[in-house]
Amino acid sequence: MSKKSFRQAINEALRQEMQRDPRVILMGEDIAGGQGGSAGVVDAWGGVLGVTKGLYTEFGAERVFDTPISEASYIGAAVGAAATGLRPVAELMFVDFVGSCLDQIMNQAAKFRYMFGGKARTPLVIRAMYGAGFNAAAQHSQALYPLFTHIPGLKVVVPSSPYEAKGLLIEAIRDDDPVIFLENKVMYDDEEEVPDEPYSIPFGEANLTREGDDVTIVAFGRMVNFANEAADRLGKDGISCTVIDPRTTSPLDSATILECVEDTGRLVIVDESSPRCNMATDVAALVAEQAFDALRAPIRQVVPPHTPVPFATVLEKLYLPDAARIESAVRSVMAYKKAKQDA
Protein backbone atom coordinates (compact mmCIF):
# COMPACT_ATOMS: atom_id res chain seq x y z
CA MET A 1 0.00 0.00 0.00
CA SER A 2 1.30 3.41 -0.88
CA LYS A 3 0.07 6.80 -1.94
CA LYS A 4 -0.74 6.90 -5.63
CA SER A 5 -2.19 9.53 -7.88
CA PHE A 6 -5.37 9.06 -9.89
CA ARG A 7 -3.10 8.78 -12.95
CA GLN A 8 -0.85 6.14 -11.33
CA ALA A 9 -3.85 4.16 -10.07
CA ILE A 10 -5.27 3.93 -13.60
CA ASN A 11 -1.88 3.07 -15.08
CA GLU A 12 -1.43 0.33 -12.47
CA ALA A 13 -4.87 -1.14 -13.17
CA LEU A 14 -4.06 -1.31 -16.91
CA ARG A 15 -0.62 -2.79 -16.28
CA GLN A 16 -1.82 -5.47 -13.85
CA GLU A 17 -4.68 -6.55 -16.11
CA MET A 18 -2.34 -6.68 -19.12
CA GLN A 19 0.02 -8.87 -17.08
CA ARG A 20 -2.83 -11.12 -16.00
CA ASP A 21 -4.61 -11.48 -19.33
CA PRO A 22 -2.81 -11.44 -22.71
CA ARG A 23 -6.08 -10.57 -24.44
CA VAL A 24 -6.04 -7.06 -22.94
CA ILE A 25 -4.76 -4.52 -25.48
CA LEU A 26 -4.64 -0.73 -25.55
CA MET A 27 -5.34 1.54 -28.47
CA GLY A 28 -5.80 5.27 -28.92
CA GLU A 29 -4.36 8.52 -30.18
CA ASP A 30 -0.83 9.12 -28.91
CA ILE A 31 -1.12 6.59 -26.09
CA ALA A 32 2.26 5.12 -27.05
CA GLY A 33 3.93 8.36 -27.99
CA GLY A 34 3.20 9.22 -31.55
CA GLN A 35 4.65 6.21 -33.37
CA GLY A 36 1.65 5.84 -35.59
CA GLY A 37 4.01 6.02 -38.52
CA SER A 38 7.69 5.14 -38.62
CA ALA A 39 8.84 8.33 -36.93
CA GLY A 40 8.25 9.36 -33.34
CA VAL A 41 9.89 8.84 -29.97
CA VAL A 42 9.13 5.54 -28.23
CA ASP A 43 6.81 5.94 -25.23
CA ALA A 44 7.17 9.71 -25.31
CA TRP A 45 3.59 10.57 -24.37
CA GLY A 46 1.43 7.90 -22.81
CA GLY A 47 -1.66 9.79 -23.88
CA VAL A 48 -2.12 13.53 -23.70
CA LEU A 49 -1.93 13.52 -19.88
CA GLY A 50 0.54 10.65 -19.50
CA VAL A 51 -1.82 8.01 -18.12
CA THR A 52 -0.56 5.10 -20.24
CA LYS A 53 3.12 6.05 -20.04
CA GLY A 54 5.45 3.05 -19.71
CA LEU A 55 2.97 0.50 -21.00
CA TYR A 56 4.30 0.55 -24.57
CA THR A 57 7.79 -0.17 -23.26
CA GLU A 58 6.55 -3.01 -21.07
CA PHE A 59 4.09 -4.68 -23.44
CA GLY A 60 5.30 -3.70 -26.91
CA ALA A 61 3.76 -2.48 -30.12
CA GLU A 62 1.48 -5.49 -30.54
CA ARG A 63 -0.52 -4.65 -27.41
CA VAL A 64 -0.17 -0.87 -27.10
CA PHE A 65 -0.63 1.04 -30.30
CA ASP A 66 -1.24 4.51 -31.56
CA THR A 67 -4.11 4.97 -33.93
CA PRO A 68 -4.77 7.49 -36.66
CA ILE A 69 -6.79 10.53 -35.64
CA SER A 70 -10.01 8.83 -36.65
CA GLU A 71 -12.29 7.89 -33.76
CA ALA A 72 -14.75 6.26 -36.14
CA SER A 73 -12.12 3.78 -37.33
CA TYR A 74 -10.33 2.85 -34.14
CA ILE A 75 -13.37 2.71 -31.87
CA GLY A 76 -14.98 0.56 -34.56
CA ALA A 77 -11.87 -1.63 -34.61
CA ALA A 78 -11.98 -1.93 -30.81
CA VAL A 79 -15.63 -3.01 -30.92
CA GLY A 80 -14.77 -5.63 -33.50
CA ALA A 81 -11.76 -6.84 -31.55
CA ALA A 82 -13.93 -7.21 -28.44
CA ALA A 83 -16.56 -9.13 -30.36
CA THR A 84 -13.93 -11.54 -31.66
CA GLY A 85 -12.04 -12.44 -28.52
CA LEU A 86 -9.77 -9.64 -27.35
CA ARG A 87 -10.41 -7.35 -24.40
CA PRO A 88 -9.48 -3.93 -25.80
CA VAL A 89 -9.20 -0.75 -23.76
CA ALA A 90 -9.61 2.11 -26.23
CA GLU A 91 -8.80 5.65 -25.20
CA LEU A 92 -11.04 8.30 -26.68
CA MET A 93 -8.90 11.13 -25.27
CA PHE A 94 -11.62 13.74 -24.65
CA VAL A 95 -15.12 12.32 -24.28
CA ASP A 96 -16.28 15.34 -26.29
CA PHE A 97 -15.01 13.50 -29.41
CA VAL A 98 -17.58 10.72 -29.07
CA GLY A 99 -19.79 12.32 -31.71
CA SER A 100 -17.66 10.99 -34.52
CA CYS A 101 -17.91 7.37 -33.34
CA LEU A 102 -21.28 7.21 -31.61
CA ASP A 103 -22.72 4.66 -34.01
CA GLN A 104 -19.99 2.17 -33.16
CA ILE A 105 -20.77 2.58 -29.45
CA MET A 106 -24.51 3.21 -29.36
CA ASN A 107 -25.80 1.11 -32.19
CA GLN A 108 -23.18 -1.65 -32.39
CA ALA A 109 -21.29 -2.44 -29.16
CA ALA A 110 -24.25 -1.67 -26.89
CA LYS A 111 -26.62 -3.79 -28.94
CA PHE A 112 -24.62 -6.93 -29.75
CA ARG A 113 -25.61 -8.98 -26.72
CA TYR A 114 -29.29 -8.18 -27.28
CA MET A 115 -29.34 -8.54 -31.07
CA PHE A 116 -27.55 -11.89 -31.00
CA GLY A 117 -29.82 -13.49 -28.45
CA GLY A 118 -27.42 -13.14 -25.53
CA LYS A 119 -24.74 -15.15 -27.35
CA ALA A 120 -22.39 -12.28 -28.18
CA ARG A 121 -20.04 -10.71 -25.69
CA THR A 122 -18.36 -7.34 -26.15
CA PRO A 123 -15.71 -6.97 -23.44
CA LEU A 124 -14.71 -3.46 -24.43
CA VAL A 125 -13.62 -0.56 -22.27
CA ILE A 126 -13.61 2.96 -23.62
CA ARG A 127 -11.62 5.35 -21.43
CA ALA A 128 -12.06 9.07 -21.85
CA MET A 129 -11.44 12.33 -20.01
CA TYR A 130 -14.37 14.47 -18.99
CA GLY A 131 -15.12 17.60 -17.04
CA ALA A 132 -14.65 21.33 -16.70
CA GLY A 133 -12.12 23.21 -14.59
CA PHE A 134 -9.15 22.53 -16.85
CA ASN A 135 -9.50 25.65 -18.95
CA ALA A 136 -9.90 23.49 -22.03
CA ALA A 137 -12.91 25.32 -23.49
CA ALA A 138 -16.32 24.17 -24.67
CA GLN A 139 -15.23 21.34 -26.99
CA HIS A 140 -12.96 19.61 -24.44
CA SER A 141 -14.78 20.10 -21.12
CA GLN A 142 -18.14 18.36 -21.20
CA ALA A 143 -19.32 15.77 -18.69
CA LEU A 144 -21.18 13.45 -21.02
CA TYR A 145 -21.88 10.48 -18.74
CA PRO A 146 -25.68 11.08 -18.97
CA LEU A 147 -25.44 10.56 -22.75
CA PHE A 148 -24.05 7.03 -22.27
CA THR A 149 -26.27 6.31 -19.27
CA HIS A 150 -29.22 6.86 -21.57
CA ILE A 151 -28.19 3.95 -23.80
CA PRO A 152 -29.23 0.47 -22.64
CA GLY A 153 -26.41 -2.03 -23.06
CA LEU A 154 -23.63 0.24 -21.82
CA LYS A 155 -22.15 0.32 -18.34
CA VAL A 156 -20.93 3.73 -17.25
CA VAL A 157 -18.31 4.36 -14.56
CA VAL A 158 -17.42 7.73 -13.01
CA PRO A 159 -14.70 7.16 -10.39
CA SER A 160 -14.26 9.72 -7.62
CA SER A 161 -10.74 8.95 -6.29
CA PRO A 162 -7.54 6.98 -7.02
CA TYR A 163 -8.63 3.98 -4.92
CA GLU A 164 -11.98 3.90 -6.68
CA ALA A 165 -10.41 4.35 -10.12
CA LYS A 166 -8.11 1.34 -9.85
CA GLY A 167 -10.72 -1.08 -8.53
CA LEU A 168 -13.43 0.08 -10.92
CA LEU A 169 -11.15 -0.02 -13.99
CA ILE A 170 -10.08 -3.59 -13.17
CA GLU A 171 -13.75 -4.51 -12.82
CA ALA A 172 -14.44 -2.78 -16.18
CA ILE A 173 -11.72 -4.75 -17.97
CA ARG A 174 -12.98 -8.05 -16.53
CA ASP A 175 -16.60 -7.24 -17.44
CA ASP A 176 -18.00 -8.93 -20.55
CA ASP A 177 -20.07 -5.92 -21.61
CA PRO A 178 -18.99 -2.58 -23.10
CA VAL A 179 -18.01 -0.17 -20.34
CA ILE A 180 -17.53 3.59 -20.66
CA PHE A 181 -14.92 4.64 -18.07
CA LEU A 182 -14.79 8.42 -17.57
CA GLU A 183 -11.87 10.13 -15.85
CA ASN A 184 -12.13 13.70 -14.61
CA LYS A 185 -9.10 15.41 -16.11
CA VAL A 186 -8.68 17.74 -13.13
CA MET A 187 -8.17 14.77 -10.78
CA TYR A 188 -5.09 13.11 -12.29
CA ASP A 189 -2.77 14.45 -9.57
CA ASP A 190 -5.13 13.69 -6.66
CA GLU A 191 -3.45 11.21 -4.32
CA GLU A 192 -4.52 8.65 -1.74
CA GLU A 193 -3.55 5.24 -0.37
CA VAL A 194 -4.05 2.58 -3.05
CA PRO A 195 -3.24 -1.13 -2.54
CA ASP A 196 -0.40 -2.46 -4.70
CA GLU A 197 -2.33 -5.68 -5.36
CA PRO A 198 -5.07 -5.94 -7.99
CA TYR A 199 -8.62 -5.60 -6.64
CA SER A 200 -12.01 -4.99 -8.13
CA ILE A 201 -15.01 -2.96 -7.00
CA PRO A 202 -18.39 -4.27 -8.17
CA PHE A 203 -20.60 -2.10 -10.39
CA GLY A 204 -23.96 -0.85 -9.20
CA GLU A 205 -22.93 -0.60 -5.58
CA ALA A 206 -22.85 2.93 -4.20
CA ASN A 207 -20.23 4.01 -1.67
CA LEU A 208 -21.24 6.11 1.32
CA THR A 209 -18.34 8.47 1.91
CA ARG A 210 -20.12 10.18 4.81
CA GLU A 211 -23.02 9.06 6.97
CA GLY A 212 -25.44 11.47 8.60
CA ASP A 213 -29.03 12.01 9.67
CA ASP A 214 -30.15 15.29 8.15
CA VAL A 215 -29.50 15.45 4.41
CA THR A 216 -28.55 12.96 1.68
CA ILE A 217 -26.15 14.32 -0.93
CA VAL A 218 -25.75 12.27 -4.11
CA ALA A 219 -22.70 13.35 -6.10
CA PHE A 220 -20.87 12.00 -9.15
CA GLY A 221 -17.16 11.74 -9.96
CA ARG A 222 -15.15 14.75 -8.88
CA MET A 223 -18.24 16.28 -7.26
CA VAL A 224 -18.01 13.61 -4.52
CA ASN A 225 -14.95 15.42 -3.18
CA PHE A 226 -16.79 18.74 -3.09
CA ALA A 227 -19.74 17.06 -1.38
CA ASN A 228 -17.42 15.60 1.28
CA GLU A 229 -15.88 19.01 1.84
CA ALA A 230 -19.32 20.60 2.23
CA ALA A 231 -20.48 17.79 4.54
CA ASP A 232 -17.44 18.23 6.79
CA ARG A 233 -18.03 21.96 7.03
CA LEU A 234 -21.74 21.51 7.72
CA GLY A 235 -20.92 18.90 10.36
CA LYS A 236 -19.20 21.58 12.41
CA ASP A 237 -22.52 23.45 12.50
CA GLY A 238 -24.39 20.37 13.60
CA ILE A 239 -25.85 19.47 10.19
CA SER A 240 -24.97 15.87 9.43
CA CYS A 241 -24.99 14.64 5.83
CA THR A 242 -24.85 11.31 4.09
CA VAL A 243 -22.77 11.53 0.91
CA ILE A 244 -23.47 8.90 -1.74
CA ASP A 245 -20.99 8.18 -4.51
CA PRO A 246 -22.95 5.90 -6.89
CA ARG A 247 -19.65 4.97 -8.63
CA THR A 248 -21.55 3.84 -11.73
CA THR A 249 -24.40 5.77 -13.36
CA SER A 250 -25.37 2.58 -15.19
CA PRO A 251 -26.17 0.38 -13.39
CA LEU A 252 -27.36 2.84 -10.73
CA ASP A 253 -27.67 1.72 -7.09
CA SER A 254 -31.13 3.19 -6.68
CA ALA A 255 -31.82 1.06 -3.58
CA THR A 256 -29.09 2.77 -1.58
CA ILE A 257 -30.22 6.23 -2.71
CA LEU A 258 -33.82 5.51 -1.72
CA GLU A 259 -32.83 4.02 1.64
CA CYS A 260 -30.71 7.04 2.53
CA VAL A 261 -33.46 9.48 1.53
CA GLU A 262 -35.91 7.47 3.64
CA ASP A 263 -33.53 8.03 6.56
CA THR A 264 -32.77 11.72 6.07
CA GLY A 265 -35.88 13.05 4.32
CA ARG A 266 -33.85 15.59 2.36
CA LEU A 267 -31.94 15.28 -0.90
CA VAL A 268 -29.33 17.40 -2.66
CA ILE A 269 -27.89 16.10 -5.95
CA VAL A 270 -24.59 17.34 -7.33
CA ASP A 271 -23.86 16.79 -11.01
CA GLU A 272 -21.41 18.68 -13.19
CA SER A 273 -23.03 17.62 -16.46
CA SER A 274 -25.42 19.94 -18.33
CA PRO A 275 -28.63 20.26 -16.33
CA ARG A 276 -31.26 18.97 -18.77
CA CYS A 277 -31.70 15.18 -18.73
CA ASN A 278 -28.64 14.64 -16.56
CA MET A 279 -28.03 12.39 -13.55
CA ALA A 280 -29.51 14.98 -11.18
CA THR A 281 -32.86 14.93 -13.00
CA ASP A 282 -32.70 11.13 -13.14
CA VAL A 283 -32.11 10.74 -9.41
CA ALA A 284 -34.66 13.45 -8.59
CA ALA A 285 -37.29 11.60 -10.63
CA LEU A 286 -36.42 8.30 -8.93
CA VAL A 287 -36.82 9.78 -5.46
CA ALA A 288 -39.91 11.85 -6.28
CA GLU A 289 -41.61 8.75 -7.61
CA GLN A 290 -40.50 6.18 -5.05
CA ALA A 291 -39.74 8.06 -1.83
CA PHE A 292 -42.12 11.03 -2.01
CA ASP A 293 -43.56 10.44 1.43
CA ALA A 294 -40.12 10.52 3.00
CA LEU A 295 -39.30 13.99 1.66
CA ARG A 296 -39.43 16.84 4.15
CA ALA A 297 -38.20 19.47 1.69
CA PRO A 298 -37.99 19.90 -2.09
CA ILE A 299 -35.15 18.12 -3.85
CA ARG A 300 -32.33 20.53 -4.70
CA GLN A 301 -29.98 20.11 -7.66
CA VAL A 302 -26.52 21.68 -7.67
CA VAL A 303 -25.72 21.74 -11.40
CA PRO A 304 -24.14 24.07 -13.95
CA PRO A 305 -26.23 26.35 -16.19
CA HIS A 306 -27.44 25.06 -19.55
CA THR A 307 -24.64 26.60 -21.59
CA PRO A 308 -21.43 25.41 -23.24
CA VAL A 309 -18.54 25.31 -20.74
CA PRO A 310 -16.95 28.78 -20.86
CA PHE A 311 -13.24 29.22 -21.57
CA ALA A 312 -12.68 32.34 -19.46
CA THR A 313 -11.36 31.19 -16.08
CA VAL A 314 -13.71 33.31 -14.00
CA LEU A 315 -16.72 32.15 -15.98
CA GLU A 316 -15.64 28.52 -15.84
CA LYS A 317 -15.36 28.81 -12.07
CA LEU A 318 -18.82 30.31 -11.97
CA TYR A 319 -20.10 27.49 -14.17
CA LEU A 320 -18.96 24.53 -12.03
CA PRO A 321 -20.66 23.41 -8.82
CA ASP A 322 -18.38 23.72 -5.79
CA ALA A 323 -18.42 23.00 -2.06
CA ALA A 324 -19.86 26.41 -1.19
CA ARG A 325 -22.84 25.93 -3.49
CA ILE A 326 -23.46 22.45 -2.12
CA GLU A 327 -23.28 23.84 1.39
CA SER A 328 -25.83 26.54 0.68
CA ALA A 329 -28.17 24.03 -1.03
CA VAL A 330 -28.00 21.83 2.07
CA ARG A 331 -28.72 24.82 4.31
CA SER A 332 -31.69 25.77 2.15
CA VAL A 333 -33.31 22.33 2.44
CA MET A 334 -32.64 22.35 6.18
CA ALA A 335 -34.32 25.75 6.49
CA TYR A 336 -37.33 24.73 4.41
CA LYS A 337 -40.71 24.86 6.14
CA LYS A 338 -43.75 23.45 4.44
CA ALA A 339 -46.21 26.24 3.56
CA LYS A 340 -49.16 24.18 4.74
CA GLN A 341 -48.10 22.61 7.98
CA ASP A 342 -50.53 20.19 9.55
CA ALA A 343 -53.01 22.12 11.64
Partner 1 sequence: MTDLITPITMPKFGLAMTEGKITSWNIPSGAQVEAGQEIADIETTKITNGYESPASGTLRRQIATEGETLPVGALLGVLAEPAVSDADIDAFIAKFQADFSSDNAADTPADHAEPIMVSVGDLTLRVQEAGQGDATPVLFIHGFGGDLSNWMLNQNALSTDRRTVAFDLPGHGGSSKNVGDGTPAGFAATTAALLDKLGITSVHVVAHSLGGAIALELAKTCPQKVASLSLIAPAGLGQSINMDFIEGFISADRRKTLEPVLNYLVHDKTLISRKMVEDIIRFKRLDGALQGLQTIAKACFPNGRQAEDLRSVLASFAGPAQIIWGEADEVLSPNDAKNLPDTIPVTLLPQTGHMPQLEKAADVNAALIKLAK
* Residues found near partner 1 in the complex (CB under 8 A): 1, 163, 167, 195, 197-202, 205, 208, 211
Q: What are phi and psi of 155, to 5 degrees?
A: -105, 140
Assign 152 to helix, strand or coil.
coil
If the CB atoms of residues 40 and 204 are measured against partner 1, the closer one turns out to be 204
Q: Which of 87, 111, 127, 140 is catalytic?
A: 140
- CA dihedral sign of residues 298, 299, 304, 308: negative
If the CB atoms of residues 104 and 256 are measured against partner 1, the closer one turns out to be 256
If the CB atoms of residues 191 and 211 are measured against partner 1, the closer one turns out to be 211
Residue 150 a catalytic site member = no
For residues 319 and 303, give the distance between their C-alpha atoms in angstroms, rounded to a whole number: 9
Q: Residue 334: count other Cβ atoms within 10 Å of its Cβ.
A: 17
Helix (H) or strand (E) run with residue 11 in it: helix 6-20
State the minimum distance, in angstroms, from the CB of residue 197 to partner 1: 5
State the minimum distance, in angstroms, from the CB of residue 156 to partner 1: 20
Q: Which of 230, 223, 259 is nearest to 333 (CA)?
A: 230
Q: What are phi and psi of 3, to 5 degrees?
A: -70, 130
State the minimum distance, in angstroms, from the CB of residue 254 to partner 1: 15
113 alpha-carbon distance from chain centroid? 23
If the CB atoms of residues 99 and 202 are measured against partner 1, the closer one turns out to be 202
Please list the residues that pair with 87 across neighbouring strands.
Answer: 24
If the CB atoms of residues 163 and 226 are measured against partner 1, the closer one turns out to be 163
Q: How far is CA 264 from CA 31, 235, 246, 253, 297, in A?
A: 45, 15, 17, 17, 10
For residues 326 and 343, give the distance between their C-alpha atoms in angstroms, rounded to a whole number: 33
CA angle 279, 283, 287 (to 5 degrees): 170
State the minimum distance, in angstroms, from the CB of residue 105 to partner 1: 28
State the minimum distance, in angstroms, from the CB of residue 256 to partner 1: 9
**Catalytic residue positions, numbered:** 140
